[in-house]
Amino acid sequence: MYYSVRGVLIHLEPRMAVIECGGVGYKCSVTMNTARQLPAVGKEAMLYTILSVREDAMELFGFADQGELACFKQLTAISGVGPKAANAILSELSPERVAMAVAAGDYKALTRAQGVGPKLAQRIVLEMKDKVGKLQVSGGIDLPDTPAGGSSAAGNAAEAVSALTVLGFTAGEASAAVGKLDSALPVESLVREALKALAKR
């Protein structure tokens, strides 16, 4: 319903920001990562948003970039992961770190988030990894040709593509974005730079 809000930031707390647009203040629940990226109160700000509707409440969630929004959507699509748990995870880990943890099967990294126990973390890793596996089988990920840098560069590119599909991008989109980068870069750098490129589409 609400794609984004842009206006003057009139209030900011660690997990909440209010942006005034056309005389209306939109209260957005934000992650700690997004809160750190917002300007000072009184300056113009923009957040990508998603509206969570429950029987007893409607809540607007705001994100500094589309990578974080995509990761939030992937997390909340998993049974047992509500918006607050997804926000808690993204307050502790960047989207790149979440994707890397899932790709590596490191569920313990997710338990750093408040309210996320080992069982829920394991379910998140399993379900998100399962989606990646299906994408790789059906989408046939084509990795870019790597220079004579050896298997580690190809492995970095493969891991980056896998991590991007965790965040909801198609195999084709992820491969195209990673293919334009230097595959000798660390995996997290590849994911971060590819996310920036994908956000500009």
Asked if 59 and 91 sit in the same domain, the reply is no
- How much is the pTM? 0.73
Structural domains in the chain (count): 3
Provide the token pair at 174. Answer: 């992820």
Average pLDDT over residues 68-80: 89
Residue 134 lies in a domain: no
Q: How confident is the model at residue 153 (pLDDT cuts 50, 70, 90)?
A: low
Residue pLDDT, tens place only, 8-33: 999 999 899 999 999 999 999 999 99
Q: Would you say 190 and 176 are in contact if contact means Cβ atoms under 8 Å apart?
A: no
Residue pLDDT, tens place only, 99-148: 888 877 889 999 999 989 999 999 999 888 776 554 444 333 333 433 43
pLDDT of residue 100: 81
CATH number at residue 52: 2.40.50.140
| Among 157, 165, 150, 167, CA closest to 189 | 157
Reduce the DSSP state of residue 14 to 3 states and report it. Answer: coil
pLDDT of residue 151: 42
CA distance 86 to 72: 6
Range of the domain at 14: 4-63
Out of 48-62, 124-138, 181-195, pick the least confident.
124-138
Asked if 163 and 115 sit in the same domain, the reply is no
Asked if 117 and 143 sit in the same domain, the reply is no
CA distance 50 to 52: 6
Residue pLDDT, tens place only, 58-70: 999 999 988 889 8
Q: Would you say 72 and 53 are in contact if contact means Cβ atoms under 8 Å apart?
A: no
Asked if 165 and 180 sit in the same domain, the reply is yes
Q: What is the bridge-based pairing of β-strands 4-13 and 16-21?
A: antiparallel
